[in-house]
């Protein structure tokens, strides 16, 4: 049975852990609000840019315009270098593994947690590993990532996306808007476009700049989902800490009661022995 001192030490440690969880919760909440306000302002803009990019690529394909030779498909997985996100990153990696077996693709894996989970899944497909200084790439790191993927006809980005504070799910987007072959459906288009400036100039602009902007957006979306997941995880940790603290306090109360009973018995025994000698 634990001594009172040991129980008090356990109580102090549990209360300290609860304070840490509370601090992480507050930090995550502030970070979540900051990222979300920026993303909500940009989300509609990026959606419109993506649709324009799709139109330009579609028309360029019809005219067989291509600035440089293209390879097939590259699948990019965006994860963090940190933990404390619950099952969010594990589910994302699982989603990546299941989907990238359906078609031929090269693979780029970003973040150290992806490597850990891929190893745990015994993933045998080759991939390029990218470890960033933080979860959001610097300008130089972003340029390096874009250089790795810009030579492909199809760029699939796998990342976590927040639907609500309590719901974050794996998501995939094609930043050049060319659907995978297993998603293709017959669609007839009756819309005609007049391009200004020339289509080749627009295609060059998109390939050099918009791809980078769209990939940057997926990093922000990932960070938003991770902040929400951490907020939820730390909130759950506080509830768990409260349960542990309550149990430890109950154990401490029992230990104190036991000591009081022992002291009472000793006092009674002492008094009886004194009375017998008298």
DSSP string, 151-208: TEEEEEEEEEEESSSS-EEEEEEETT----GGG------------SS-HHHHHHHIII
pLDDT band at 167 (very low <50, low <70, confident <90, very high): confident
> Taking the CA of residue 228 as centre, how many other CA atoms within 13 Å lie in the half-sphere pointing to its CB?
20
Share the mean pLDDT of the chain. Answer: 76
Highest mean pLDDT among 5-14, 149-158, 171-180: 149-158
Give the separation between CA 9 and CA 17, rounded to whole angstroms: 12
Highest mean pLDDT among 33-42, 80-89, 217-226, 245-254: 217-226
Q: Which residue ranges form the domains of the chain, and what is each CATH number?
A: 33-233 (3.40.1380.10)
Mean of the pLDDT values across residues 48-74? 76
pLDDT (0 to 100) of residue 105:
94
With a cut of 80, say whether residue 104 has pLDDT above it. Answer: yes
Between 52 and 136, residue with greater pLDDT: 136
Model pLDDT for residues 113-152, shown as the tens digit of each residue = 888 888 888 888 899 999 999 888 998 999 999 989 988 8
Which one, of 181, 157, 179, lies nearest residue 102 by Cα?
181
Give the separation between CA 176 and CA 52, rounded to whole angstroms: 10
Give the separation between CA 148 and CA 74, rounded to whole angstroms: 9
Report the 10 Å Cβ neighbour count for 223.
23
Question: Residue 25 has what DSSP assignment?
Answer: H
pLDDT (0 to 100) of residue 203:
74
Which one, of 120, 126, 82, 79, lies nearest residue 104 by Cα?
126
Beta-carbon contacts of 49 under 8 Å, excluding residues fewer than 6 positions away, are 210, 213, 214
**pTM over 0.75, yes/no:** no
Mean of the pLDDT values across residues 51-74? 76
pLDDT band at 192 (very low <50, low <70, confident <90, very high): low
């Amino acid at each position: 049975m634990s001594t009172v001192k040991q129980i008090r030490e356990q109580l102090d440690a549990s209360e300290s852990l609860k304070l840490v969880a509370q601090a992480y919760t507050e930090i995550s909440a502030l970070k979540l609000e900051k990222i979300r306000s920026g993303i909500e302002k940009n989300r509609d803009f990026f959606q419109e840019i993506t649709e324009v990019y799709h139109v330009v690529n579609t028309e360029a394909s019809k005219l067989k315009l291509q600035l440089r030779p293209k390879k097939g498909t590259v699948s990019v997985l965006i994860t963090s270098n940190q933990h404390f996100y619950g099952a969010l990153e594990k589910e994302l990696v699982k989603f990546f593994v299941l989907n990238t077996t359906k078609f031929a693709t090269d693979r780029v894996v970003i973040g150290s947690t992806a490597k850990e989970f891929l190893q745990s899944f015994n993933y045998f497909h080759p991939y390029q590993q990218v470890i960033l200084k933080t979860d959001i790439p610097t300008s130089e790191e972003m340029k390096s990532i874009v250089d790795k993927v810009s030579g492909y006809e199809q760029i699939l980005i796998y990342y976590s996306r927040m639907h609500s504070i309590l719901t974050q799910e794996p998501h995939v987007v094609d930043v050049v808007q060319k659907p995978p072959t297993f998603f293709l459906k017959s669609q007839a288009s009756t819309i005609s476009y007049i391009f200004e400036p020339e289509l080749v100039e627009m295609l060059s602009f998109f390939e050099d700049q918009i791809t980078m902007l769209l990939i940057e957006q997926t990093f922000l979306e990932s960070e938003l989902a991770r902040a929400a997941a951490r907020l939820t995880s730390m909130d759950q940790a506080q509830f768990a800490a409260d349960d542990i603290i309550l149990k430890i306090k109950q154990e401490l109360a029992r230990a104190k009661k036991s000591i009081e009973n022992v002291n009472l018995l000793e006092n009674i025994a002492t008094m009886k022995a004194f009375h017998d000698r008298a």
